[in-house]
Amino acid sequence: NIFINNYRKKMKANTIMDSTDNLYYINSGSVTIANTGDSNILMKELTSMIEGLDESIKIPFLMHYQGYKYQEIADHFDLPLGTVKSRIFFARKELKALISKRYGQLRRKS
């Protein structure tokens, strides 16, 4: 309950109400403008990295990314909850290693 209350308080503090007719709500955040060309390349690279994962960890990871809960994934595959959690953990770990390998080299070259 404390977490939920603090979360709601934080979200209210970061929300600005525009007084136009349609009453738009704007969440204030970073003011940076993303370079869509770079982000498209990064998404393609990330997608190819995900596609390179082993099927046993890729599918639960993608389901979790799409918003499925751990228990829903476990029920879908008829697996224990701990197995699903560990597979998603190993998928994240492998992706993190691939990303740091790929982009760590770019940082060293600069």
Domain assignment of residue 58, yes or no: yes
Domain assignment of residue 16, yes or no: no
Q: What CATH number corresponds to the domain at position 70?
A: 1.10.10.10
pLDDT of residue 85: 96
How many Å apart are CA 26 and CA 14, to the nearest integer? 8
Gyration radius (Cα) of the chain, Å: 19
Domain assignment of residue 37, yes or no: yes
Residue 67 belongs to what domain range?
Answer: 33-109
pTM of the model: 0.59
pLDDT of residue 20: 52
29 SS3 class: coil
How many domains does the structure of the chain reveal? 1
Q: pLDDT (tens digit, 9 = 90+) per residue, 1-52? A: 677 776 676 666 655 555 555 545 555 555 555 666 566 657 788 889 999 9
How many Å apart are CA 66 and CA 50, to the nearest integer? 14
23 SS3 class: coil
Domain assignment of residue 19, yes or no: no
The helix or strand, by DSSP H or E, that contains position 16, with its residue range, turns out to be strand 15-17
Domain assignment of residue 73, yes or no: yes
Domain assignment of residue 11, yes or no: no
Domain assignment of residue 4, yes or no: no
Answer yes or no: are the C-beta atoms of 64 and 90 closer than 8 Å. no
Residue 69 pLDDT exceeds 60: yes
